[in-house]
Amino acid sequence: MSEVFVLAQFVGDKVAKTTGELATCGARIGDVTAIVLAAPGKGAALASQVTSGRIAKVVVIESADFDKFGVSASAAVLAHIVGEHKPAALLITSSAFGKELAGCIAVLTDSGLITDAVDVSSELVATQIVFGGSSTVHSRVSHGSAIITLRPNSVTPDLEKSSPEILNVSVAVGESAKHAEVISSQPPVAEGRPELTEAQIIVSGGRGTNGDFGPVETFADLLGAAVGASRAATDAGWYPHSHQVGQTGKTVSPQLYVACGISGAIQHRAGMQTSKTIVVINKDPEAPIFELADFGVVGDLFSVLPQASEGVKAHKS
């Protein structure tokens, strides 16, 4: 049976749900080995959490260089083990970091690259949704190991626990991966809401909020949701850029996406069109976002959202 590598992902010290999604997808193709890249002394605690999605083996590689030299150090180490083991595929979460990493590994190993897949079949055929959701593309890597990034929330993770064998491996980071050094970094401030790319539910606000995200946040908190924003809202300084959804923001694929006061520009759609259920609140019945809506409300978000929040509260009590 072929071997598939998945790069385990963590949010702080906790394993990310996307790790289970990658492993679930990988298990269709072959035996799954999860790779854990960790700072010295942190590997065992991280590896012990990598149990869902039928993972057969966890390979732990510790190095201070991952934090110090960022993507290039991780890419060098992953390229080394991909070159040595020649797995059928290496699956990585589609994030800005994941896509940069995947690109570097593909170059270093002379392998084919597919980014932003929403599914990968047992025959290693990747599905991508492109051009604002209007086209579906199926592709397969024809050279080397298939380096594929998978969008978060695209695959339902198999939560059955496995007891993988844990192996500690030592791989040195070469000098060529040390040409740019991270001087300092500021971890994101914890807000008590789920991380955008991990969230099952996202409530997003756009220019229609006119800078007041209060009703969006209240509704999001009642649903245990993350808060997203259009670029119009982040460019205006109404919400942090780290919450921007879209082509130049984050790509999300939650179970439920609620778009409030967002028109549905193609660049916004590019980041959310694979959401499972899309609810739209917009006062313009002609707004293009309604084309994507499973459920749409034509109305003023400042009147609709408080009523929706009251409805959720009443349902909970």
Ligand X SMILES: Cc1cc2nc3c(=O)[nH]c(=O)nc-3n(C[C@H](O)[C@H](O)[C@H](O)COP(=O)(O)OP(=O)(O)OC[C@H]3O[C@@H](n4cnc5c(N)ncnc54)[C@H](O)[C@@H]3O)c2cc1C
Residues near ligand X (CB under 6 A) are: 206-208, 230-233, 244-249, 261-263, 265, 267-268, 271, 281-284, 287, 300-302
Q: Would you say 251 and 198 are in contact if contact means Cβ atoms under 8 Å apart?
A: no
Q: Which is nearer to ligand X, 26 or 296 (CB)?
A: 296
Q: Which of 12/237 has CB closer to ligand X?
A: 237
Shortest distance, CB of residue 244 to ligand X, whole angstroms? 5
Determine the distance from the C-alpha atom of residue 257 to the mean position of all C-alpha atoms in its chain, rounded to a whole number: 15
Q: Which of 252, 250, 200, 198 is nearest to 10 (CA)?
A: 198
Measured at the alpha carbon of residue 291, what is the angle toward residues 127 and 237, in degrees to the nearest 5?
Answer: 90
Helix (H) or strand (E) holding 79: helix 65-85
We find the least distance from the C-beta atom of residue 208 to ligand X, in angstroms, to be 3
Rounded distance, CA 16 to CA 9, Å?
Answer: 5
Report the C-alpha gap between 148 and 156 in whole angstroms. Answer: 17
Least distance from C-beta 268 to ligand X, angstroms?
A: 3
Structure tokens at 106: 């593909």
Residues with Cβ < 8 Å from 79, sequence gap 6 or more?
104, 105, 108, 109
CB of 210 to ligand X, least distance (A): 7
Q: Are 72 and 108 in contact, with CB atoms under 8 Å apart? A: no
Cβ closest to ligand X, residue 70 vs residue 249: 249
Q: In the structure encoding, which two tokens stand for residue 253, read together?
A: 């694929």
Judged by beta carbon, residue 111 or residue 197, the one nearer ligand X is: 197
> Whose Cβ is closer to ligand X: residue 47's or residue 259's?
259
Nearest-approach distance from CB 308 to ligand X, in angstroms:
13
Closer to ligand X by CB, 40 or 311: give it: 311
Cβ atoms of 20 and 198 closer than 8 Å? no
Minimum CB–partner distance for residue 212 and ligand X (Å):
9
